[in-house]
């Protein structure tokens, strides 16, 4: 878990600060309901299995979901969709960067909340500042903002997603704080 405010903070060695910055050059992330950026090493579902408490779930609950679908734990199937869908509907934002198309895909819950807007704004500003820089990302990168229902809220240039956020209707009260 990386808090960019403390990447270069007091008490950090140059090596620790560099490691913190490198952790933000991944191709997948979770943004917590409070805006914390969590780099994803492999897949989003593996990140949840690795640290279920971080996401407010239990390993037993994850296993029960997979058992209900008769799928092996961690499989990228229906159980995964169920688990990740519940997370985004509880305020988490799932982020994936596709280098081939140089596109960031942001998945929010059924509703776009004020907390989601703040987290998106912060994340995009960190990309623009160069603090977060997945391989191949740049000014030409695009963004796709989807709800968990598959509705497209925004599709266009990454650099204009911030100016477009005010025009994207807030569809739910902010209940994540």
Q: Quickly list DSSP for 87-145.
A: HHHTT-EEEEEETTTTEEEEE--SS--HHHHHHHHHHHHHHHTTSS--TT-STT-EEEE
Please state the rounded mean pLDDT for residues 73-77: 92
Q: Is the pLDDT confidence value at 123 over 80?
A: yes
Tokens 């058992």, residue located: 67
Please state the rounded mean pLDDT for residues 59-83: 95
- Crossing angle, helix 78-89 and helix 59-68, to 10 degrees? 130
- pLDDT score for 37: 92
Q: Which range among 22-26, 107-111, 156-160 shows the weakest confidence by mean pLDDT?
A: 22-26
Please state the rounded mean pLDDT for residues 53-64: 96
Q: Is the pLDDT confidence value at 28 over 90?
A: yes
Total-model pTM: 0.80
Q: Give, in order, the Cα–Cα distances in Å from 148 to each of 9, 81, 159.
A: 36, 10, 23
Q: Is the pLDDT confidence value at 25 over 90?
A: no
Q: Is the pLDDT confidence value at 21 over 80?
A: no
């Amino acid at each position: 878990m990386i808090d960019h405010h403390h990447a270069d903070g007091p008490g950090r060695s140059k090596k620790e600060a560099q490691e913190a910055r490198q952790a933000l050059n991944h191709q997948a992330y979770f943004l917590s309901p409070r805006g914390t950026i969590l780099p994803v090493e492999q897949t989003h579902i593996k990140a949840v299995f690795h640290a279920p408490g971080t996401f407010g779930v239990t390993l037993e609950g994850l296993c029960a979901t997979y058992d209900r679908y008769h799928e092996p734990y961690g499989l990228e199937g229906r159980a995964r969709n169920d688990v990740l869908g519940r997370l985004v509907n509880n305020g988490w934002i799932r982020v994936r960067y596709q280098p081939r198309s140089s596109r960031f895909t942001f998945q929010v819950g059924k509703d776009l909340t004020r907390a989601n807007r703040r987290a998106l704004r912060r994340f995009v500003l960190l990309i623009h500042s160069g603090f977060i820089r997945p391989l191949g990302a740049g000014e030409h990168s695009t963004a796709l903002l989807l709800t968990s229902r598959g509705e497209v809220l925004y599709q266009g240039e990454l650099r204009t997603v911030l100016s477009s956020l005010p025009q994207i209707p807030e569809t739910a009260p902010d209940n994540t704080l």
